[in-house]
Amino acid sequence: MKKTVRTFQMAKEEGRKITMLTAYDYSTARLMDEAGIDAILVGDSLGNTILGYEDTVSVTMEDMIHHSAAVSRGTVNTMVVVDMPFMSFQTSEYDALVNAGRLMKEGRAAAVKLEGGKMVCPQIKAVTGAGIPVMAHLGLTPQSVNALGGNRVQGKSEEAAKKLIEDAYAVQDAGAFAVVLECIPAKLATLITDKLDIPTIGIGAGNGCDGQILVYQDMLGMFSDYVPKFAKKFADVGAIMKSAFADYIKEVSDGTYPAEEHIFKIDDDILEKLY
């Protein structure tokens, strides 16, 4: 059955954990859909993992639309949530609405995600008011990496923790259907989860959240530029890929690939006429 915002709300009410992963292309999305994941985030982390940027600041609307459309084509039951890139919503409610609309119409998203708390509540209200579901994102918000002074754990002081709780209430009141909590202390994430009516999706926020998300290259050992502490390697696909690439190079070099079973044939009498 197609997963929707209702799946998220019912999961919270029934105490069932929500599962999310990032994906950026058709074939990966298809595999995740077949595995039964609840939702895929087309994250602006594609700036790091797919495009090789240092951070997510350079990611454009065109990048997001291109990858979102590919992921959407790969899903049947999975809900597709798409990140609003840096400066596509911070500038005004109007920009937020126009760009969220593009992600839905051109990227075939089912919901959008945007980073920030109280400051972006007018944008969340404008977008949800137009019938577009919004997932909020608090804690470590990578688009603010320059203001945060790096990828650090957030909400450790009393003041910072109180601000996070206020921001969580604010995005809920503004109409967000769920909120990502990234890189915050596990006990604080559990507290916020207990206080909110909407589900929390944790990444580096412990086991007390209503659901979890990981960047798929992190959980498959495919991205070694930066490996966060919270990223469990569920399989070392990176090592398997490297070994397969090395085998391919060897077999092409020594002529063992392609073998008899990989070739197409032509009748010898036709071939003779060609000499």
Tell me the HSE value of 151 on the side-chain side, using a 13 A CA sphere. 14
Q: How many residues bind ligand KIV (CB under 6 A)?
A: 12
Would you say 71 and 25 are in contact if contact means Cβ atoms under 8 Å apart? yes
33 makes contact with ligand KIV (CB under 6 A):
no
114 makes contact with ligand KIV (CB under 6 A):
no
Of the two residues 111 and 203, which places its CB atom closer to ligand KIV in the complex? Answer: 203
Structure tokens at 182: 């990234």
Of the two residues 146 and 253, which places its CB atom closer to ligand KIV in the complex? Answer: 146
Q: Which long-range contacts (CB under 8 A, 24 or more apart) does 19-22 make?
A: 19/211, 19/212, 20/81, 20/201, 20/211, 20/212, 20/213, 21/213, 21/214, 21/215, 21/216, 21/219, 22/46, 22/49, 22/213, 22/214, 22/215, 22/216
Of 38-46, 63-71, 185-193, 261-269, the window that binds ligand KIV (rule: CB under 6 A) is 38-46
Active site members: 182
Of the two residues 182 and 210, which places its CB atom closer to ligand KIV in the complex? Answer: 182
Among 11, 18, 33, 44, the residue binding ligand KIV under the rule CB under 6 A is 44
Beta bridge partners of 139: 182
Of 39-47, 65-73, 94-102, 125-133, the window that binds ligand KIV (rule: CB under 6 A) is 39-47
Among 33, 38, 63, 83, the residue binding ligand KIV under the rule CB under 6 A is 83
Number of Cβ within a 10 Å radius of residue 186? 16
- Chain residues 252-271 in contact with ligand KIV, contact rule CB under 6 A: none
Peptide bond into 258 cis (omega under 30): yes
Binding region for ligand KIV (CB under 6 A): 22, 41, 43-45, 83, 137, 180, 182, 203, 213, 215
